[in-house]
Amino acid sequence: MLNYFLKGEKGTRLRFMGMLLSAILVLLSVFTLTQKGLNFGLDFTGGYLTEFTTSQSVELKELQSFIAKNHNGEFELTAQGNSHFQLREAPSASTTANSPDWQSAVTQNDYINAQVLSSAYIGSQVGDELFDQGCLAMFAAMIAVMIYLAVRFEWRLAVGSVVALVHDLILVLGLFSLLQIEFNLTVLASLLAIIGYSLNDSIIVGDRVRELLRVQSNNVLSPATIINNAIKSTLTRTLITSGTTLATVASVWLLAGAPLQGFAIALFTGIVVGTFSSICIAATLPELLGLSAKNYEVKVDAHTQTLLDMP
């Protein structure tokens, strides 16, 4: 069915419409990021982190409701197990200043009977350092990717892959900004995974485009037709790979709990937009930049040409 839509001018038109849609989504994501920003978690902003266990299994929602009655500030409660919990508070959510002592409430309650394992304050300076190092790691990964693409591909295909990569990261960040999902270290790690996955998709399509251009030295087929043929020949493999990966990430999203929810959402979104951009950007932008079979013609000097022409 998809191969039918990728035939001839219809396929080319769909690719260009997809690239236009991508451009609109990127602009909306940038606008959202500038207006709302990211909802940084305690890994970056700092705050109080408390771990405790209960004497018996307690439902997360039930425990969260009980703590909310004894805590007036903002907090985040996550379950590390059936009876092991972790509570994060913003720096301004000190129990002595803004709210009743929730720790006393959960430890003195006969049903919950909690025992505090550890309580620590994460300074904002540590969070700033983590954010700087994470951004540096992402920047280093991007530079390594650009060097690799410059060596592997003709510059037009390389530019298409880099633009597709940036597109994927901006859309994921825009989604997190729009929904105000907490941005923490696990989400930052997922962005590094998205860089690798998006690059893989773009290279698969780019390699096939390059192969078909090399065998079309007589320019019988137009670049648009060659690119459509390259996408059709790799589409099944791309969809199977993306589908199986999405199933795994969806399982993590649904079953792993709150600690990995942001990671799963980012990775799930990155895989979807990465598959989309490998077709609509990584394969389409080089066509706009003038990619053709001539870019892969083998150039020979006059002496070699004379030898080739000899009977």
pLDDT tier for residue 175 given thresholds of 50, 70 and 90: very high
Are residues 243 and 114 both part of a single domain? Answer: no
Q: Is residue 168 part of a domain?
A: yes
* Residue 51 in tokens: 């771990």
Facing residues of 86 across strands? Answer: 51, 78
> 3-state DSSP helix/strand/coil percent for the chain, to nearest 5?
70, 10, 20
pLDDT tier for residue 172 given thresholds of 50, 70 and 90: very high
How many angstroms separate the Cα of 297 from the Cα of each of 4, 78, 232, 287, 300?
A: 31, 59, 24, 17, 9
- Tell me which residue range forms the domain holding 82: 47-122
pLDDT tens for residues 61-87? 888 888 888 887 777 787 777 788 888
Alpha-carbon gap, residue 195 to 268, rounded angstroms: 13
The pLDDT assigned to 127 comes to: 61
Total count of domains within the chain: 2
Q: Is residue 310 part of a domain?
A: no
Q: Is residue 301 part of a domain?
A: no
Q: Is residue 311 part of a domain?
A: no
Are residues 60 and 6 both part of a single domain? Answer: no
Q: Is residue 141 part of a domain?
A: yes
Are residues 257 and 115 both part of a single domain? Answer: no
The pLDDT assigned to 21 comes to: 92
The DSSP letter of residue 298 is: P
How much is the mean pLDDT over the chain?
Answer: 79
The pLDDT assigned to 202 comes to: 83
Residue 50: pLDDT above 80? yes
Are residues 140 and 280 both part of a single domain? Answer: yes
Q: Quick one: what percent of the chain has pLDDT higher than 90?
A: 12
Alpha-carbon gap, residue 189 to 71, rounded angstroms: 31
CATH number for the domain harbouring residue 89: 3.30.70
Q: What is the dihedral of CA 52, 55, 61, 66, to 10 degrees?
A: -80
Are residues 145 and 171 both part of a single domain? Answer: yes
Q: Is residue 228 part of a domain?
A: yes
pLDDT tens for residues 238-297? 888 888 889 988 888 888 777 788 889 999 999 999 888 888 888 888 888 887 767 666
Are residues 11 and 68 both part of a single domain? Answer: no
Are residues 113 and 138 both part of a single domain? Answer: no
DSSP string of 14-71, one letter each residue: HHHHHHHHHHHHHHHHHHHHHHH--EE-HHHH-EEEEEEE-SS---HHHHHHHHHHT-
pLDDT tens for residues 195-225? 888 888 888 888 888 888 777 655 567 778 8
